[in-house]
């Protein structure tokens, strides 16, 4: 069953770009494998929902896995700065690599899930129609120009 959050601008023929995805944090320092740190780390990607079992039970020390609700229309972050940027902080910050497990494709043009705007046929058709219209306009212009002489 698929439950969708009701939003004021909900349209039945459009998909919401906000979906839950698994976010992987490879080589995350061991002391950060807790909900307290994880929710802060992934907070700039989206809304943290839950950790996977291995992360929760700390049975996979080399990688944390966390479910995050992300907005597919926003640029995808591939790394994130963790820690304090203040000079006085005793703990140095680091860049954490971010990977996504099966990120769904979302077309901003059709506003549906399943394909990206790069693969969009409608965008392609629109582009071709525009090119054709431009070419016709150009052709008409040339005919009027020649008929004058
Ligand atoms: Zn499309």
Which contiguous run of DSSP H or E holds residue 24? strand 18-26
In angstroms, the CA 7 to CA 134 distance is 40
Q: Please tell me the distance between residue 50's alpha carbon and the centre of ligand 1 in angstroms.
A: 31
Give the HSE-up count for residue 49: Cα atoms under 13 Å, Cβ half-sphere: 12
Q: Please tell me the distance between residue 129's alpha carbon and the centre of ligand 1 in angstroms.
A: 16
pTM of the predicted model as reported, rounded to 2 decimal places: 0.74
Q: Please tell me the distance between residue 109's alpha carbon and the centre of ligand 1 in angstroms.
A: 5
Per-residue pLDDT of the chain (149 residues; tens, 9 = 90+): 556 665 666 677 899 999 999 999 999 998 899 999 999 999 989 999 999 999 999 999 899 999 999 999 998 899 998 876 666 666 678 899 999 998 999 999 999 999 999 999 999 999 999 999 999 998 887 777 666 55
Tokens linked to 110:
């059709």
Q: Please tell me the distance between residue 72's alpha carbon and the centre of ligand 1 in angstroms.
A: 14
Q: Please tell me the distance between residue 106's alpha carbon and the centre of ligand 1 in angstroms.
A: 8
């Amino acid at each position: 069953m698929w439950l969708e959050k009701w939003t004021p601008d909900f349209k039945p023929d459009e998909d919401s770009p906000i979906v839950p995805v698994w976010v992987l944090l490879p080589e995350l320092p061991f002391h950060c494998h807790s909900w307290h740190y994880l929710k802060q780390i992934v907070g700039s990607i989206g809304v943290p929902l839950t950790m996977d079992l291995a992360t929760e039970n700390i049975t996979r020390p080399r990688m944390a896995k966390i479910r995050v609700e992300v907005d597919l229309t926003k640029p995808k972050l591939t790394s994130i700065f963790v820690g304090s940027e203040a000079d006085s902080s005793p703990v140095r910050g680091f860049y954490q690599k971010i990977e996504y497990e099966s990120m769904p494709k979302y077309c901003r043009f059709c506003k549906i899930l399943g394909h990206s705007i790069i693969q969009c046929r409608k965008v392609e058709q629109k582009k071709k129609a525009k090119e054709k219209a431009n070419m016709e306009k150009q052709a008409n212009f040339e005919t009027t120009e020649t008929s004058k002489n």
